[in-house]
Amino acid sequence: MQLNAPLDMHLHLRDGEMLENIAKTSAHTFSGAIIMPNLVPPVTTKEAVVAYKDRIIKAIGDEKFTPYMTLFFNPSYDKTFLSSVRDEITAIKLYPAGITTNSEGGVSGFDVEELRPALEAMSELNIPLCVHGETNGFVMDREAEFASIYERLATAFPKLTIIMEHITTKTSVDLLDRFENLYATITIHHLLITLDDVAGGMLKPHLFCKPIAKRPEDRDALLKVALEAHPKVMFGSDSAPHPQHAKESCGCAAGVFTAPIALQLLAELFDTHGSSVEKLQAFVSGNAQTIYGVTPLNKTITLEKKPFKVPSNYKGVVPIYADEEIAYSITNVSI
Catalytic residue numbers read 238
Nearer to its own copies, 214 or 299 (CB): 214
Q: Are strands 233-235 and 300-309 parallel, antiparallel or unpaired?
A: unpaired
34 contacts 53 by C-beta, under 8 angstroms? no
The answer to whether 19 and 59 are in contact (CB under 8 A) is yes
Which residue, 64 or 215, is less far from its own copies as judged by CB? 215
Give the burial string for 135-150 (b: 16+ CB within 10 Å, else e): beeeeeebbbebbebb
Residues contacting 29, CB < 8 A, separation 6+: 6, 260, 262, 263, 299, 301, 330, 333
* Least distance to its own copies, CB of residue 159, Å: 35
* Exposure of 166 in the CB half-sphere (CA atoms within 13 A): 30
- Residue 36 beta carbon to its own copies: minimum distance, rounded to whole angstroms: 19
| Shortest distance (Å) from residue 221 CB to its own copies | 15
Instruction: Report the distance separating Cα 18 and Cα 95, nearest Å.
Output: 22
- Report the residue number, 125 or 139, with the smaller CB distance to its own copies: 139
The CA distances from residue 132 to 97, 223, 224, 329, in Å, are 10, 20, 22, 31
What minimum distance in Å lies between the beta carbon of 9 and its own copies?
Answer: 26
Q: Which residue ranges make up the site for its own copies (CB under 8 A)?
A: 138-140, 194-196, 198-206, 208, 212, 215-216, 247-254, 318, 322
Residue closer to its own copies by CB (options 8, 134) is 134
Q: C-beta of 306: minimal distance to its own copies in Å?
A: 26
Do residues 94 and 129 lie in contact, with contact meaning Cβ atoms separated by under 8 Å? yes
Q: Are 26 and 49 in contact (CB under 8 A)?
A: no
Q: What's the residue count for the chain?
A: 335
